[in-house]
A = this chain, B = another copy of it.
Amino acid sequence: MIGRLNHVALAVPDLDAAAAQYRDALGADVGAPQELPEHGVRVVFITLPNTKIELLHPLGDDSPISGFLAKNPAGGMHHVCYEVDDIAAARDRLVAAGARALGDVKIGAHGKPVLFLHPKDFAGCLIELEEA
């Protein structure tokens, strides 16, 4: 069912510093910061030949990243995103298999339908599914 790894998301306490590390020390293709107020994040996309890295920083008072950074002040790996062809079919299959979705399908940061899965059902790893 799952297809490509769309991205790995890393929560970072200083977006500009993390972007500079990837650009200067690691020599990666690092984009400009973007504010996504409807998702409560400021993001930098890093384009690798086969996938993307998303650097995430909280934006606003109700960011989904704030709690993670409170627990992990130095930053850390936040989630992985796998592509699926049909998000509704994916949700139904996962629920039938006993996995829990975190909320409903919604429109994600890339303008496509996404669904988050409970990390307790996947060995502590937060998984996002995105309809590619």
A contacts, CB < 8 Å to B: 1-5, 8, 10-14, 17-18, 21, 24-28, 48-51, 53, 55, 72, 74-78, 80, 82, 93-94, 97-99, 119-125, 127
Q: With A3-B49, A4-B50, A5-B50 given, is the CB distance from A25 to B125 under 8 Å?
A: no
Most buried by B among A5, A93, A127: A5
B25 and A99: CB pair below 8 A? Answer: yes
B97–A4 CB distance below 8 A: no
User: Bound state CA distance, A122 and B122, in angstroms?
Assistant: 25
Nearest chain B CB to A120's CB is how many angstroms away? 7
Select A8's contact among B3, B24, B80, beta carbons within 8 Å.
B80
Provide a sorted-by-A list of 5 A–B residue pairs whose CB atoms are within 8 angstroms: A1-B26, A4-B48, A4-B50, A5-B50, A51-B51
Distance from A7 Cβ to chain B, minimum over Cβ atoms (Å): 9
